[in-house]
Structure 1
Amino acid sequence: MAVAPSSSSSELPDECWESIFKHTNNPHDHESLSLVSKQFLSFINRIHTHLIISDGVLPLLPALLRRFTTLTSIKVTHYFTGDIDALLSQIASFNLPSLHSLDISKLRTFPSHGLRQFSQKFPTLKSFICYSTRPDLVLIAECFPNLEEIDMSYPLPGLVFEIKALTSGLKKLRKVDLSGTYFLEDSSIFTLCHNCVSLEALVVHDASSFSNIGIANAIRQRPQLRSLAVRRGNVTSELIDAFVSLKDLTCLDLSESHISDEALCALAEGGLPLRELCLDNCKGYGFDGISCLLRKCNNLQCLGLQGTEFLNDECVIDLSLLLGNLNVVKLNRNDNLTDLSLFAIMCNCPLITKIWMERTSVGKHKLEENCLVVNSHLKFLYLAWNSWLDDGSITMLASVCPNLEMIDLGESCGRISKGAIDVLWRCCKIQRMDLYGIGRDLSQFQFRVNFEVPTFFVLNLSSCSISDEELSLLSKSCYNLKELTLDFCGEITANGGKAGGEKLQATKNDKFAVL
């Protein structure tokens, strides 16, 4: 005889509900879900882990800190005009046992008193971000001895950098950003790498006071480094030899440097287990050097080749054959790249999820749809500032990228109208679109969405000629829309904007603004 399960045994465990809410497509829906029951409210409260504090948030801060007790990180915006010392003291009066990260970047006043109060409540803080400030390193080391990450890049003039005080007090540092510290000497970075025995990631962009030999000697002190970002005028053999000595190096950023083919080939011979490589705006190398490196680093997942002088479609087609595990690629500001490059990546890199090809020539070389392969992994596509794009190009993309969640066509939509509608129709998971200037170069333009798009949340239609009628139809079809930007849309009347806004507010109780 079968026994029906009790209501308690058939309920999902709390861990399952939390996992479901964490993967909700649109976080804006959390507030609606929190109204369902006290149990759902509790789940929603627990999954909100990040808080950004601005002047507008300040009056609500006590209520927010009482509600979201599982916060892990707090960021104070750089345009915060209140008393930062008082703010940190106020935060310290609440119980936030999971808090481990604080960001006070770009604040003109370094809150020494507030940090002392804050540290008494949160002495185990792990991450402290204070770029573009004038940090007191002695105070930081005293207050937060358990720090694992510190970003003190691009400090304000007049800072006295007590690097020894920092490294002697922070034995657990794992990641340090010293970018823009133009007044430090080679001995400083050597001391850092020598003393911080747990260091795994180092960033030294725009630190012109360090010599190549100084950086090379320093990183040899920490052979366990996994991530290194070094923006140099010239990548010398001393640096390459030091890089090769880092046998666990998985992330290397050499953007805006001068590096030769010989240097890249020497790097390839080192057999490093690179997963991320950034050569944005680098000079001095060519196809031979980068292809040599990619043949050896065949597990690369993220590649940046923005602003590369020699790059063309033929190069990208050949390189894509070496990138079977690639997830993310950035190819912005390469004028010689067309549709051939874009579709080669989509075809030869089956795991690709994000492609940046802004300011290229995508749309110039039309391809036949029956020659293309569907890529079900691609979710994010950034094609802003591509003036060759037209409806045919966008419709073809929509047909072979069925799982797109976001497409950015900003500043490139002058000849696009129906193509954007096809994306909404064909891509059933689409959530965000930037269509700034859509239809601007067309004598006749209509943006009529007369079918439901339940997954759609964010849309930018600024500088387009959308009418009151089209706006009303949009609000009915995209009934989950949360953000709609309509800057410089001159054909929308006050009544049209009000009608659209009322519809959206009535549907989801969210803000709607014609800016």
Structure 2
Amino acid sequence: MPPSSSKWQPHLPDECWESVFKHLNPHDLESISLVSCNFLSLSNRIRTHLTISRYNLPHLPALLRRFTSLTSIKLTHFFAGDIDALLSQIASFDLPSLHSLDISYQRPFFPSHGLRQFSKKFPTLKSLNCSVTNPDFLLIVECFPNLEEIDVSFTSVFPDTDLHVKALASGLKKLRKADISGTSIIRDSSVFAFCQNCVFLEAIVVRETESISNIGIANAIRQRPQLRSLTVGWSNVTLEFIDALVSLKCLTCLDLSYARISDEALCALAEGGLPLRELSLGDSSGYQYTGISCLLRKCNNLQFLDLQATQFLNDECVIELSLLLGNLNVVNLSQNRNLTYLSLFAIMRNCPLITEIRMDITGVGKQKMEEDCLVVNSHLKFLYLACNSGLDDASVTMLASVCPNLEMMDLNHCPWVSMGAIEVLRRCHKIQRMDLALLGYYSSWSKFQVNIEVPTLFVLNLLGSGISDHELSLISKSCYNLKELNLDNCDKITANGVKQVVKNCKQLRMLSLYFREKLSSDIVAWMVLARPSLREIRIPGFHGHTPSKRDGGCFIDVVPKSHGNIPWS
């Protein structure tokens, strides 16, 4: 018998509960907040990031009063002119921990007045992501001289942009990271100004900027030998640039995607002995196996490797390279059509710490998987195999048997798979997300009957599948904890199937319904009332009014009733 409630009152300090709650995602925290007033208060303090769109704008004051520990705010889906007033409104609230603001992709309007008001309340802002025009660079320096991170990538271009970028570099003395990508008029001197004036600079991103030269970037990075991360992109990497690169003895992250680089350059980079942990050569060309193997033998502590679309890669190359990557956590081998399941199993066998493998658009499935090649990897959590047209049910079943702790599997555009996906649900007891878009295009969906409980599955994409109301009903009963469900182009689904989903999935937050069946305003209103957890219903061409009265064409924003006041996000 348990002790009586009057004597048995388990108690943990708030600090312990906060430590536990930090390991939960925001959706779970909403449920936690319903337990008690104390849990509501604690969960409110855990929330540090908030995305504000015009859909949840009516609840902004309540949200800002509720989440007082916010460190980051992002504004999205606003019309020109709205952000000025919104920034002024945010500045009227007490958010002592706020240090990051993202107002990117709001061109052509720049909220000068709003930022001035915002800076008066938050003068110590550390991170800013925005799209600007020339005069706005000076305003940024004026308002936020203490910035440590700035992202003005793909900004508007005017003749004197380079001059204003130099002023930005001169005014932000505490800058640690800068992204000035995609602005073609920026010159070598702009990059040099950042590296020369920003004495704390540790990371710089300069891609899709044709006017930056090898010599220019080489001269710039020599000014800042403590750089830890460098992302550059141009057509040809020269030995002069490599010579400057190897002087960066603290460099741990290097991204040379889309570059042309020779074996000689890679071997020279290897001789520099840089302590690289992340290396990206995705869509790069000019080098062969000799160069990359030379580099990986020296950089044997890599945790992230991107070799997407590498023309010469085959199974033999990957098998040999995998022996050099004992500390690898994430690898991207997508768009290498000569790679088969042998490469996949080599990574799983020789890289015991691997957690994520991307092999989209490869040859996985073109050959029958041999059981003597199978290897169990309990660390692998994320497996992306999209657009592998040779994959079939037998292959996917084998993969499910050797990846018991998968949390995410992407099988979209794998037309011969159907029952294999059910085996993933059956065997991978930690599965949380599955992308099955256009799955089973050439196989029978009438056999896709999920008759096992899958309480861990939160996100499911069934776009373009041949699923009917019957199969959908079974899925909703078995995967009853779904939070996001995509049924776009599922033309066999009717309003009855949708009702079953809304009825059975009691935590559903997002439902996408782009298919031929016309859903009446009554059905949409019923969904809103029947499932308070819903945040978003996507329906094409809908013009009716739900109880929330905030529909916007293809998007209907749905407000929950938790605590009878305001939504979690």
Aligned to 2:555: none
Change (3 A) 1:317 1:79: farther
Aligned to 1:510: 533
Q: From 312, 315, 319, give the equivalent of 1:313.
A: 315
The farther-off stretch of 396-405 and 370-379 is 370-379
Aligned to 2:180: 178
Question: Contact (CA 8 Å) 1:487, 1:514: kept in 2 or not?
Answer: no
Task: Measure, in 2, the Cα distance between the counterparts of 1:135 and 1:487.
Answer: 44
Alignment partner of 1:42 is 2:41: yes
Aligned to 1:86: 85
Aligned to 1:69: 68
Aligned to 2:114: 114
Superposed CA deviations along residues 5-59 of structure 1, whole A, max 9, x for unmatched, are: x9899522222212222222x5322222111101110121111111111110111
Letter in 1 for 2:240: E
Q: Deviation of residue 327 (structure 1)?
A: 0.4
Alignment partner of 1:52 is 2:51: yes
Question: Contact (CA 8 Å) 2:153, 2:180: kept in 1 or not?
Answer: yes
Question: Contact (CA 8 Å) 1:135, 1:152: kept in 2 or not?
Answer: no
Alignment partner of 1:19 is 2:19: yes
The farther-off stretch of 467-476 and 244-253 is 467-476
**Structure 1: gaps of 5 or more residues:** none
The farther-off stretch of 261-270 and 163-172 is 163-172
Question: Contact (CA 8 Å) 2:481, 2:506: kept in 1 or not?
Answer: no
Q: Deviation of residue 181 (structure 1)?
A: 2.3
Q: Deviation of residue 502 (structure 1)?
A: 2.0
Change (3 A) 1:69 1:42: same
Question: Contact (CA 8 Å) 1:240, 1:263: kept in 2 or not?
Answer: yes
Q: How does 1:231-270 map to 2 (within 5 A)?
A: 231-270=233-272
Task: Measure, in 2, the Cα distance between the counterparts of 1:353 and 1:482.
Answer: 24
Letter in 2 for 1:486: L
Change (3 A) 1:506 1:362: closer
Question: Contact (CA 8 Å) 2:345, 2:373: kept in 1 or not?
Answer: no
DSSP 3-state at the match of 1:89: helix
Question: Contact (CA 8 Å) 1:484, 1:513: kept in 2 or not?
Answer: no
The farther-off stretch of 257-266 and 475-484 is 475-484
Alignment partner of 1:490 is 2:513: no
Question: Contact (CA 8 Å) 1:497, 1:514: kept in 2 or not?
Answer: no
TM-score normalised by the chain length of structure 2: 0.86
Task: Measure, in 2, the Cα distance between the counterparts of 1:253 and 1:68.
Answer: 36
Report sequence identity in percent: 69
Superposed CA deviations along residues 336-360 of structure 1, whole A, max 9, x for unmatched, are: 1111111111111110111111111
Aligned to 1:156: 156
DSSP 3-state at the match of 1:420: helix
Q: How does 1:268-347 map to 2 (within 5 A)?
A: 268-347=270-349
DSSP 3-state at the match of 2:447: coil
Aligned to 2:553: none
Change (3 A) 1:375 1:445: same
Q: How does 1:466-481 map to 2 (within 5 A)?
A: 466-481=467-482
Aligned to 2:230: 228
Superposed CA deviations along residues 59-89 of structure 1, whole A, max 9, x for unmatched, are: 1111111101111111111554552110100
Change (3 A) 1:140 1:487: same
TM-score normalised by the chain length of structure 1: 0.95
Letter in 1 for 2:408: M
The farther-off stretch of 281-290 and 496-505 is 496-505
Change (3 A) 1:82 1:165: closer
Aligned to 2:401: 399
DSSP 3-state at the match of 1:445: helix
Q: Deviation of residue 280 (structure 1)?
A: 0.7
Letter in 2 for 1:488: N
Letter in 1 for 2:156: L
Task: Measure, in 2, the Cα distance between the counterparts of 1:460 and 1:442.
Answer: 18
Aligned to 2:554: none
Change (3 A) 1:80 1:14: farther
Superposed CA deviations along residues 261-298 of structure 1, whole A, max 9, x for unmatched, are: 00000000000000000001111000000000000000
Q: Deviation of residue 493 (structure 1)?
A: 2.1
Question: Contact (CA 8 Å) 1:389, 1:416: kept in 2 or not?
Answer: yes
Change (3 A) 1:53 1:33: same
Aligned residue pairs total 509
Task: Measure, in 1, the Cα distance between the counterparts of 2:308 and 2:230.
Answer: 19
Letter in 1 for 2:145: P
Aligned to 2:142: 142
**Structure 2: gaps of 5 or more residues:** 509-530, 540-569
Task: Measure, in 2, the Cα distance between the counterparts of 1:133 and 1:454.
Answer: 49
DSSP 3-state at the match of 1:102: strand
Q: Deviation of residue 116 (structure 1)?
A: 0.5
Q: Deviation of residue 509 (structure 1)?
A: 4.6
Q: Deviation of residue 131 (structure 1)?
A: 4.0
Aligned to 1:455: 456
DSSP 3-state at the match of 1:314: helix
Change (3 A) 1:135 1:62: farther
Q: How does 1:377-416 map to 2 (within 5 A)?
A: 377-412=379-414, 414-416=415-417
Q: Deviation of residue 187 (structure 1)?
A: 2.1
Q: Deviation of residue 503 (structure 1)?
A: 2.2
Task: Measure, in 2, the Cα distance between the counterparts of 1:8 and 1:326.
Answer: 48
Task: Measure, in 2, the Cα distance between the counterparts of 1:491 and 1:44.
Answer: 41
Task: Measure, in 1, the Cα distance between the counterparts of 2:365 and 2:113.
Answer: 57
Letter in 2 for 1:437: L
The farther-off stretch of 126-135 and 98-107 is 126-135
DSSP 3-state at the match of 2:485: strand
Superposed CA deviations along residues 176-224 of structure 1, whole A, max 9, x for unmatched, are: 1111222122222212211110000011112221221111111000000
Question: Contact (CA 8 Å) 2:476, 2:500: kept in 1 or not?
Answer: no
Q: Deviation of residue 485 (structure 1)?
A: 1.1
Task: Measure, in 1, the Cα distance between the counterparts of 2:203 and 2:8.
Answer: 48
The farther-off stretch of 363-372 and 487-496 is 363-372
Superposed CA deviations along residues 415-462 of structure 1, whole A, max 9, x for unmatched, are: 111111111110010001010112210256322111111111111112
Q: How does 1:183-222 map to 2 (within 5 A)?
A: 183-222=185-224
Change (3 A) 1:456 1:132: farther
Task: Measure, in 2, the Cα distance between the counterparts of 1:8 and 1:150.
Answer: 53
DSSP 3-state at the match of 2:178: strand
Letter in 2 for 1:72: T
Question: Contact (CA 8 Å) 1:475, 1:503: kept in 2 or not?
Answer: yes
Change (3 A) 1:476 1:159: farther
Letter in 2 for 1:338: T
Letter in 1 for 2:228: R
